[in-house]
Amino acid sequence: MKRILPLVLIILAVALSLAACSNSPEPKTETTGYPYPTTKMIPVVNDYHGTKITDNYRWLEDASTEEVQAWTTEEEAFTHSITGPLPQRAWLEERFNALWRYDDETVPHPVLDGERLFYRTKKKEDEKWVYMTKANADAEGQVVLDPNEWDDTETMGGSSASRDGKYVAYGVAHGGDENPIVRVMVTETGELLDDTLRGWKQSVGSWLPDNEGFFYTCKPLEGEVPEGEHEYWHAAWYHKLGTDASEDVMVFNDDEVKETWHGAYLTEDAQYTIYYRGLFNANELYFRKTGETGELIPISTEMENEYGIDIVDGKILITTNKDAPRKMVYITDVDQPERENWKVFLPEHDKDKLTHISAISGYIYASYSHNTYSVVKIYDLEGNFVRDFPFPTIGTGNVSGRWNSDDIWVSFSSFTYPPTTFKYDFDNNSLEVYREFPVEISVDGVVADQVWYPSKDGTRISMFIVHKDDLKLDGTNPTLLYGYGGFDISMRPRFSTTALTWLEAGGIYVVTNLRGGGEYGREWHEAGMLGNKQNVFDDFIAAAEYLIDKGYTSADNLAINGGSNGGLLVGAVTVQRPELFKVVLCAVPLLDMVTYHQHGLANIWAEEYGSSDDPEQFKYLQAYSPYHNIRQGVKYPAFLVTGGENDARVDPLHARKMAAALQAADDGGGPIMLLINKSSGHGGGTTITTRISQQAEQRAFLMDQLGMGVPGK
């Protein structure tokens, strides 16, 4: 059990550090009543295209220094002094243990050449999933890899079985760092081969037939590229089994743009190899017959739109958003890939967004987003409509399988429908339950309403409000509003156990579909990116105002939460409209939008946000950057900002700097608190125990600030 420092010791530590730091501001104790740790200011001035900006907390960016580590320890001691004693925390830990710990098993999938199956299991007492195999469907299961026997911080970072299942290539990552080191083992015996790979952040893709070797991707090691660029120059390689990594061959890369990503993978029948180069919102695609070494055959080369490709039975199906914001599908013969030979297979829908197509058991399953929930339509390979897919209700579903297999698997959930796996009987057009959610839970009386509200510029935004059916619109309901709004990512109606606990405690849970997301197509996304990013914040603010105006809640009863790009969202609305929210959970966020692109791999996001290196983009980045728009003497809402110690995507420097600046500026609000989660990455801890502890502490803080007690007490 972690030891929580008594409040009196924290106050004493603050007083001692004050005496040692003459250039530090007085801690806010009289106005706020919170004994924040002493944080010195060291002004650093930079000139951006004629605009000078002073950064008082640049020194907090380097987590390797003892000074920053000591400051972070003090900040976390202050945070734990508040969250540690909360009774809601103990209740949440108990509920999460009940809801997250159970015997579970994934769908068993056969290898591409043979009967061997691979799947994962997790016992109630396990902290991590176990990788399993069977020689065939009737055989007894065998453990391939059990990460529960590894160090607590070690996790499987992806796995890829050979086409016959004889070998498994798997990665081991540490503490959520997303840097798996790949090894190859013999499935039956567990013997590790001597094979190793090049670079870092290794990821294995397709194996070639007859176990000749496999494709993989990685980034270059430090020293192989200019200083500071080893986070970029991602490339696809080929490794021949039994050879040294120095003999691996680079098969697809980019010599000019360091931010692009690459991949090489085989079609299901192994007849063709697909080559991918992409950014977030555009990509190039090529292919050729597997084993050939001639010129790649282009599908798309302009790097201006999105393309996807499926090759089945001599046909190429091409999904794209070029001239089709909600996407469409073309078809052509594999020996006539030139664009002039493409024919429309599925035209763009007049309202719904095509999310993807899947070639399964002889048919094409086209998945659409209709007002954010799933609709799947089935077609034959000639483009004839067969039928709509029979999902059990409105929600989020996915249909998966292979072209040359009869097994059709379906995963489905909604706000009021726990996750369920089905097998689909095509002939009878029926669903058979394969696995229900294994924990007994009740959703009786839970209602999910989809509403539409106007944003600042009049654009209609959709939103889901999840609540008990005895809801009273008297403005007193503790409400948690969640949003994301970026990177073409959709917020769909899915079941959430964390949302369920919020409802059990008497709250309302709300998810809003902001511009910048992918719910309604390319135009919806572009309306919330680059110079349009303020639309996302306006949409979220309008959601809060709608909830208040309609009597669902009030500013004193409203909590907001977002992570990563969603952390940027809640950080921005906090400094723009601090009076509108009572408490904020800002997780693994980007917050310094003027310098974000200078840290780690973050320049890959310039496609979404822009870069302060560009004079015009600097103007709007500075205008909304949460860190740069904190105002002195403002009463800010209670604010908990988190980071991951090993976050490979967003450096926790954003969280540290934001906490320091808000603590110095706040006047009568707060508390302003910081948590840098240890041995954790962008998605949190590596074990169930760690994730339960982290989530319980954060959610308990929200509940406490809204006056939500422990249910039944």
Q: 654 pLDDT exceeds 80?
A: yes
- Predicted confidence at residue 33, as pLDDT, reads 66
Which of left, alpha, beta for 530 (phi over 0: left; psi -120 to 50: alpha)? left
Separation between Cα atoms, residue 22 and residue 26, nearest integer Å: 10
- Predicted confidence at residue 320, as pLDDT, reads 98
CATH superfamily of 7-98+544-705: Alpha/Beta hydrolase fold, catalytic domain (3.40.50.1820)
Q: 28 pLDDT exceeds 60?
A: no
- Predicted confidence at residue 713, as pLDDT, reads 80
- Predicted confidence at residue 712, as pLDDT, reads 84
Tell me the pLDDT tens digit for each residue of 282-305.
999 999 999 999 999 999 999 999
CA-based nearest residue to 587, from 560, 554, 612, 624: 560
Separation between Cα atoms, residue 401 and residue 391, nearest integer Å: 16
Work out the pLDDT band at 18, boundaries 50, 70, 90.
very low
Rounded average pLDDT over 658-687: 96
> Which helix H or strand E contains 423, and what residues bound it?
strand 417-425
Q: 317 pLDDT exceeds 80?
A: yes
Tell me the pLDDT tens digit for each residue of 617-630.
999 999 999 999 99
Work out the pLDDT band at 514, boundaries 50, 70, 90.
very high
Separation between Cα atoms, residue 479 and residue 559, nearest integer Å: 6
Instruction: Provide the annotated active-site residues.
Output: 564, 682
Q: 481 pLDDT exceeds 90?
A: yes
What is the Rg, in whole angstroms, of the alpha carbon atoms belonging to the chain? 26
Torsion of the alpha carbons at 26, 29, 31 and 32, rounded to the nearest 10? 120
Domain boundaries, the chain: 7-98+544-705
Q: Please tell me which residue, 571 or 712, carries the higher pLDDT value.
A: 571
HEC-encoded secondary structure of 219-280: ECCCCCCCCCCCCCCCEEEEEECCCCHHHCEEEECCCCCCCCEEEEEECCCCCEEEEEEECC
Which residues, 6+ apart, have CB-to-CB distance to 310 below 8 Å?
316, 317, 319, 357, 359
Q: 367 pLDDT exceeds 60?
A: yes
Type of residue numbered 487: F
- Predicted confidence at residue 32, as pLDDT, reads 53
Q: Pairing state of beta strands 385-388 and 373-379?
A: antiparallel
CA-based nearest residue to 701, from 46, 70, 89: 89
- Predicted confidence at residue 539, as pLDDT, reads 99
Work out the pLDDT band at 640, boundaries 50, 70, 90.
very high
Rounded average pLDDT over 403-427: 97
Rounded average pLDDT over 339-357: 98
Separation between Cα atoms, residue 344 and residue 10, nearest integer Å: 68
Tell me the pLDDT tens digit for each residue of 206-235.
999 999 999 999 999 999 999 999 999 999
CA-based nearest residue to 420, from 436, 408, 440: 436
Tell me the pLDDT tens digit for each residue of 62-98.
999 999 999 999 999 999 999 999 999 999 999 999 9
In this structure, are residues 215 and 265 in contact, taking their beta carbons and an 8 Å threshold?
A: yes
Which of left, alpha, beta for 485 (phi over 0: left; psi -120 to 50: alpha)? left
Separation between Cα atoms, residue 143 and residue 174, nearest integer Å: 21
Separation between Cα atoms, residue 227 and residue 223, nearest integer Å: 7
Rounded average pLDDT over 19-41: 59
Tell me the pLDDT tens digit for each residue of 571-622.
999 999 999 999 999 999 999 999 999 999 999 999 999 999 999 999 999 9
Which residues, 6+ apart, have CB-to-CB distance to 468 below 8 Å?
445, 446, 447, 503
- Phi/psi for 517 (5° steps) reads -80, -175
In this structure, are residues 155 and 172 in contact, taking their beta carbons and an 8 Å threshold?
A: yes
Separation between Cα atoms, residue 454 and residue 529, nearest integer Å: 19
Work out the pLDDT band at 23, boundaries 50, 70, 90.
very low
Separation between Cα atoms, residue 681 and residue 547, nearest integer Å: 33
Decide: residue 339, CB within 10 A, 0-12 exposed, 13-18 middle, 19+ buried.
Answer: exposed
Rounded average pLDDT over 309-326: 98
